[in-house]
Homo-oligomer: A and B are copies of this chain.
Amino acid sequence: MEMERATLAIWKERVENELDRVVMFWTKYSHDSQHGGFFTCLTKEGHVYDDLKYVWLQGRQVWMYCRLYRKLQRFHWPEILDAAKAGGEFLIRHARVAPPAKKCAFVLTRDGRPAKVQRTIFSECFYTMAMDELWRATGDPRYQKEAVEMMDQIVYWVRVDPTGLGQPQLSGTVKADPMAVPMMLLNLVDQLGEDDDVMSRKYWELGEWCTENILKHLQRDGKVVLENVTVDGKEIPGCLGRQQNPGHALEAGWFLLRHAIRQRDAERKALIIEKFILQPFQSGWDTENGGIFYFQDADKFCPTQLEWDMKLWWPHNEAMIAFLMSYNETRDPMLLQLFCQVAEYAFEKFSDPEHGEWYGYLNREGKVVLNFKGGPFKGCFHVPRCLYMCEELFKALLMTS
């Protein structure tokens, strides 16, 4: 017990210091003071190597800044809130491809012209997250209205009629349900309902729907989490059906766990920790080199993704959150050990002590292969979200242990 307390105290300090260095990196290098929004294509030293603005990453950074501003006293800086507001206003002005229609672009030019559109809901989801958190940080009801209106549009696309997304209907396309959709929505249910009874009630049934639709990805008598299943929860033949993404399962795990904690559902909590957290980690951890594989195939065929054996930063962030949250619920020392195992690997391999922030992409052996700090899919999100959540969990643990 004393040992565990010491471990908690040491890691609390490590994640706090690391979060400071990460936030410093983004505040120093990523702000576009001319147009609002953020540069996210940044070299290891913080130089801008491309000025495109990926809407996922714009929304995520607005969310992250507001969350830090709102929850941690030491980030209650006007500079952070101003940058978040400028990012939010940039999104309100430019994210929609053809306003008033709500479909958002995937990439914008630096000055906000749409460059690419994806036929999915994710740009809109990160828009919603950004607006809701911006409302909470500023109190400006305009942002909450933006959030709720976009949320309702997303739910309509997912549950009523996807026509507005523009996905082609082809006779040979398998109607695959990707786990990302209910995951993302469950995350939004959590976001919009925080300390808000009206919103919690509004989205209660959606939360149940999301949980059910994530749980249906647990297949083969509970042995594997598959990324894509049929609408009625059956396995899909071929590579698409066998695809596993351990980091994604771990992220789904802590989304589900938070939901089960709020519902005070002990049985569900135990199931999630076993099937969505421990099991995907055991399958995804590379016992030879350390680190979590990016993709796997449930029948042990070689995945067709060229990057399948690479170690990406974000699965390690999700694993850290998942294990620490699980430990906070159960106080099972094995879960704290697993947190330490992942965190040691991550701090050693991804973190850059010289310039701050983490590298994102290592090869199987753990060597940095892409040496930038931000890119089309890596911005100010997974690393600081993980460090902030772990910091909060450590505080809670140290108070009660």
Residues of chain A at the chain B interface (Cβ within 8 Å): 41, 43, 49-52, 97, 105, 107-109, 112-117, 168, 170-174, 237-239, 301-304, 306-310, 361, 363-364, 369-372, 375-376
Contacts and interface: CB of A to CB of B under 8 A. Distances in A.
A337 B375 CA distance: 39
A238 to B, nearest CB: 4
A170 B114 contact: yes
Contacts of A239: 41, 49-50, 52
A43 B172 CA distance: 24
Contact of A302 (B114, B309, B370): B370
| Residue among A97, A116, A306 facing the most chain B CB atoms (10 A cut-off) | A306
Contact of A308 (B117, B364, B370): B370
Nearest to A52: B238
A238 B51 contact: yes
Count of chain copies: 2
B302 A371 contact: yes
Contacts of A376: 304
Contact of A43 (B49, B301, B363): B301
Given A168-B117, A361-B306, A301 B174 contact: no
Contacts of A107: 172
A42 to B, nearest CB: 11
8 contacts: A51-B238, A105-B170, A105-B172, A113-B172, A114-B170, A115-B173, A116-B170, A306-B307
Contacts of A364: 363, 369
